[in-house]
């Protein structure tokens, strides 16, 4: 690099350290990119380019590091003080949701022209991971909004729908993904929610279950079958505003974990939407769901990695402070080995998640890798939270250290966005195909 390029990089890092939010960090990185482009445009003819070197999986772009740090600060300062009260009440604080939008953490991949950060999928996963260290309930709300709702609209919605919804999704409107029903969980395409054509409109009827973000959402992406005679090829995605007549959100489920994250039934009674509310193509909803849920599994993997790290972060200081027989617990070999095992397994899970995230960005197939990332990360999270309770002893069984909450939160990792058995089926099928 030329001296000018080095100066730009150094100045960028100094400004990023002073950035107070993801939006501020985005402006710094955007300006630096323009300066670098100017540097390269005047110097490439005189510079011999070195061969690109492969980077470690954990290597991050400046923008990604800045967003992770902004999310970490927000989690500590705004989420941490209300984690226990939100868990006990089973309710997400409106101030937390507003703060996430204000800090640019709800439009991570949305293009800048629509008010988003225009950042990478890895950046979104890093934000999910950092938030999960403090509260996995807040983390999954952000994950679903960014990796599923925003990306569905950005990727397949018409220009008109994008102009209508992307600025709102980046600034003040939470989204919810309505796929599951009473008879369609793992068999997602057995859904019975119907979309009946009525002139220039569609009438949506049916009941969705286990719908995350539904209590607070301002817009719903509803999967309904517009041509039942075609089977799953009739499934279509509709963009439905909360105020649509006939749409009703039922009472929240009283859950074991991630209690502040709302999970409710969504009932549709002849909800009328215009044909322009179809996201993408009629009959292509099943394909959109498959693709976006593969990516969503990477986000859940990031959530589980963050949860496991949060459990260790709460436990390690205690192991250094607590003494038995005149010796800190961490100095007992059995305890130290337990921590070493957990740390190694967590690192392996994190690498699986980061690898899958980079695959998404490069357009590399990731179905198997996403399944492996979610499967292993969910196992690691559950094991780590459980072992941390044991390492903490009696205090781990109380609410004082917050690890018991993480233990409850971890269980969902083996269930939502594809159960562990479904992930195993997917991995086995793809591996077997390589040898046929």
Q: Are 53 and 94 in contact (CB under 8 A)?
A: no
Contacts of residue 334, defined as CB under 8 A and 6 or more positions apart, other chains included, come to: none
The residue annotated as part of the active site, out of 93, 130, 164, 417, is 417
Other beta carbons within 10 angstroms of residue 165's beta carbon come to 25
Query: Do β-strands 327-328 and 235-241 pair in parallel, antiparallel, or remain unpaired?
Result: unpaired
**Cα 249 → chain centroid:** 23
Active site residue 229: no
Tokens of 42: 């005047």
What's the alpha-carbon Rg for the chain, to the nearest Å?
A: 23
Separation CA 156–CA 153 (nearest Å): 6
Half-sphere exposure of 352 (CA within 13 A, CB side): 29
Torsion sign, CA atoms 108, 111, 117, 123 = positive
Q: What residues act catalytically?
A: 417
């Amino acid at each position: 690099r030329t001296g000018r390029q080095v100066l730009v990089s150094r100045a960028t890092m100094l400004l990023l350290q002073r950035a107070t939010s993801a939006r501020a960090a985005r402006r710094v990185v955007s300006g630096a990119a323009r300066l670098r482009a100017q540097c390269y445009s005047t110097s490439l003819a005189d510079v011999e380019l070195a061969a690109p070197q492969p980077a470690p999986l954990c290597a991050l772009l400046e923008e990604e590091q800045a967003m992770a740090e902004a999310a970490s600060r927000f989690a500590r300062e705004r989420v941490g003080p209300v984690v226990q009260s939100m868990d006990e009440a089973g309710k997400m604080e409106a101030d937390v949701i507003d703060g996430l939008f204000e800090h640019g953490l709800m439009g991570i991949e949305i293009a800048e022209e629509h008010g988003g950060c225009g950042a990478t999928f890895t950046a979104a996963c890093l934000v999910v991971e950092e938030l999960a260290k403090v509260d996995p309930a807040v983390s999954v709300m952000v994950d679903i909004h960014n990796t599923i709702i925003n990306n569905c609209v950005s990727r397949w919605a018409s220009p008109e729908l994008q102009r209508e919804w992307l600025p709102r999704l980046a600034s003040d409107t939470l989204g919810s993904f309505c796929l599951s029903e009473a008879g369609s969980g793992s068999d997602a395409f057995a859904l019975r929610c119907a979309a009946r054509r009525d002139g220039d409109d569609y009438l949506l009827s049916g009941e969705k279950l286990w719908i995350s973000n539904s209590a607070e959402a301002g817009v719903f992406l509803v999967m309904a079958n517009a041509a039942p005679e075609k089977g799953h090829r009739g499934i279509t995605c509709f963009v439905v505003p909360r105020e649509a007549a006939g749409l009703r959100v039922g009472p929240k489920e009283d859950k074991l974990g991630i209690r502040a994250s709302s999970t409710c039934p969504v009932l549709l009674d002849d909800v009328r939407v215009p044909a322009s509310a179809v996201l993408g193509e009629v009959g292509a909803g099943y394909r959109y769901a498959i693709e976006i849920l593969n990516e969503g599994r990477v986000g859940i993997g990031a959530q589980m990695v963050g949860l496991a790290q949060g459990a260790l972060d709460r436990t390690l200081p205690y192991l250094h402070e607590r003494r038995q027989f005149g010796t800190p617990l961490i100095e007992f070999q059995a305890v130290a080995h337990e921590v070493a095992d957990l740390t190694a397994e967590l690192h392996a899970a994190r690498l699986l998640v980061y690898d899958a995230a980079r695959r998404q960005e490069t357009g590399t197939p990731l179905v198997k890798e996403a399944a492996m990332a979610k499967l292993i990360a969910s196992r690691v999270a559950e094991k780590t939270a459980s072992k941390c309770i044991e390492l903490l002893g009696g205090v781990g069984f109380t609410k004082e250290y917050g690890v018991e909450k993480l233990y409850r939160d971890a269980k969902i990792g083996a269930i939502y966005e594809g159960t562990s058995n479904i992930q195993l089926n997917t991995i086995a099928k793809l591996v077997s195909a390589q040898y046929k």
